[in-house]
Structure 1
Amino acid sequence: MRVLRFISILFNSLILFSCDPFGTKIGDEVSCFEAAEPEEVSYPDTLKVMTWNVKFGGGRIDFFFDCHGDRVIMEKEEVEQNMNLLAEKIREVNPDILFLQEVDINSKRSTFMNQVQFLLDHTALNHGVYASQWKAKHIPSDGIGKMDSGNAILCKWQLTGAKRIALPLISEQNFIVRYFYLKRNLLHANLKHSDGELNLLNTHASAYAKDNTKKQQLEIIKHYADSLNSQGLPFILAGDFNALPPNTKQTQNFDDSVCENADYDADNYSAEMDWMSPYYENYESAICLGEYSNDNLKYFTHTTDKNGFWNRKTDYLFTNKNFVSGSGVTIQDWMEASDHAPIIANYEL
């Protein structure tokens, strides 16, 4: 125990006196990308919008944090196969705007592939912006190594004014875990079109926070959307909120809650449904609350158990303008591609 305590003190001292030795600090920087062969596309009257947590091209491999397996790193062939599948599905939908969560650009676990660039080069999307959520030169735990993973917005047209808005960190973590852990964000970019400008917002809230961190994050995201709305600025807000909608029938004891390590156990969401209520009350959802309330199962978007089926909804598309009525669809047929199902909707310009 004395040895472990000494190592902990030494490690804390290293971080304190070396500023940021592992390069985990993330500022407000946003990276921009362009397809290798961008094509000029005219604006339609209606945009097809899609949001998808793509699990860093991991497909349905059982990773250690799912507690169904112990994998950390993928082989090059696995990454290429999974990314080609993602690109194939995206081409099938052919979205004009794609919101991505859990996409890697330079991580050991995904063989250092720039997945944003890959998807731009293998779909009809031309431009992208990216903001890190989990970044380090080296994470000395579980063989994770180098990491750069985050949120991205891909689009057929040029995006401008991109910025990263930092969200609160989990307060209950010890100093070392907090130093290396994910630093959540809200990614904002503007799409200028023939009739004006559309604000695009993408986020991925905390998954395992046991304190009020997730509530604070959702409140900040909502406040940011409210500020745009109060200025009469149209927006689309997308992402993995890691929270259940109101009127959800099952809120705990999911089939995939198999983790013995409570740090990676599926949440008890019962206290969190109210946190999503303001979004439904003030804005339009691609999947309206009435539809969801009538049949929860039809709109579930997440599970960690590849042998089961989707068992909860954590992914959303909201707007303060107009989704085409009835156009919202949750695509549940692609479980082999990710542990999240994508949502699509048509948006009227």
Structure 2
Amino acid sequence: MLGRVDVHLSVLSKYAISSVRRVALPAIRSDGCCTRLFNLRRAVQHITLATADGVPVHILHTHLSAFTKGDGTVEAQVATLRSLIADAGPRWMLAGDFNALPPGVKATGLTGQAALEYPAALDEVPSPIAPLFDIAISAIPLTDLTDPHRRAEHLTCKYFGCSTAEVTLDYLFLAPAAWAVEQARVARDARWPSDHAPIVARLRSTLQPRGC
């Protein structure tokens, strides 16, 4: 990497943003001191939106580390996310590129760039993002992400030079008591200027207003 290595995260909203802050995530544990100086500095963007009923919406937007090869970095980053969720109140959502396969999806059989990033040896340890599926609703259910007949619909990452998406790395997690998912899909467009396809979701608030 040359130049700035801070990870820049953005959220576009038609609603007024009450506050925004950047929370640093743990660095890659296996990096040496020199590599760490020049590797990407991962972070969470924490945005707060005010609401008419007085219960704000907390949006956590992130991009976790890649190429950690199971050294515990992503687990430490997920622990930071869980801590932020615990303090976010009842109405929150968490989205981004988690650089981790869904729990239950094996790395064995991956090829090319995907096999380099997710070697088969990782199949021996639990997915580092499994705790998020335990405490949150996934906009695209885990059963769909792992179903061998349906998972191809939800692949989000198409590495540069590849003709089709190979793995699911991007997720939208929701507070269980606050949201119902009316529709969610991976939007694919050949003109999309990224190796990751976006998740498009329609949500309905299920949190009862105060006083009800």
TM-score, normalised to structure 2's length?
0.82
Distance 2:98 2:32 in 1: 24
Give the aligned partner of residue 173 of structure 1.
Answer: 31
Counterpart position of 1:235: 92
Q: Distance in 1 between matches of 2:155 and 2:191?
A: 12
- Identify the residue that residue 344 of structure 1 maps to in structure 2: 200
**Contact persistence 1:334–1:341 (CA under 8 A):** no
Q: Is the 8 A contact 2:181 2:202 kept in 1?
A: yes
User: 1:335, 1:345 → 2: CA distance?
Assistant: 20
Aligned pair 1:316/2:176, yes or no? no
Whole-Å separation in 1 of the counterparts to 2:34 and 2:67: 17
Structure 2 residue 154 is the aligned partner of structure 1 residue 299 = yes
What fraction of aligned residue pairs are identical, expressed as a percent? Answer: 28
Q: Which residue of 2 aligns with 1:223?
A: 83
The answer as to whether partners of 1:256 and 1:266 remain within 8 angstroms in 2 is: no
Please identify the structure whose Cα radius of gyration is greater: 1
After superposition, what is the alpha-carbon deviation per residue over 1:75-100, rounded to whole angstroms, capped at 9, x for unaligned? xxxxxxxxxxxxxxxxxxxxxxxxxx
Cα distance, 1:166 vs structure 2: 1.1
Give the gaps of 5 or more residues in structure 1.
1-140, 260-264
The one-letter amino acid of 2:92's match is: F
Match of 1:279 among 123, 132, 151: 132
Change (3 A) 1:333 1:270: farther
Alignment partner of 2:117 out of 258, 266, 269: 266
CA deviation after TM superposition for structure 1 residue 225, in Å: 1.2
Contact map agreement 1:306 1:339 (CA 8 A) in 2: no
**CA displacement at 1:330 relative to structure 2:** 0.7
Cα distance 1:305–1:273, how it changes in 2: closer, same or farther (>3 A)? farther
Length-normalised TM-score, structure 1:
0.52
- Aligned length, in residue pairs: 197
1:289 to 1:344, Cα distance in 2 relative to 1, 3 A: same
Alignment of 1:321-336 (within 5 A): 321-325=178-182, 327-334=183-190, 336=192
Q: Provide the rounded CA distance (Å) in 1 between the counterparts of 2:126 and 2:197.
A: 20
Q: 1:241 to 1:201 in 2, by over 3 A?
A: same
* Distance in 1 separating the partners of 2:118 and 2:98: 12
With 187-196 and 267-276 compared, the bigger mean Cα shift is at 267-276
1:204 equivalent among 58, 63, 66: 63
Question: For residue 187 of structure 1, what is the aligned residue in structure 2?
Answer: 45
**Superposition RMSD on alpha carbons, in Å?**
2.3
Q: Shift of residue 278 of structure 1?
A: 2.0
- Secondary structure, aligned partner of 1:151: coil
Structure with the largest fraction of helix: 1
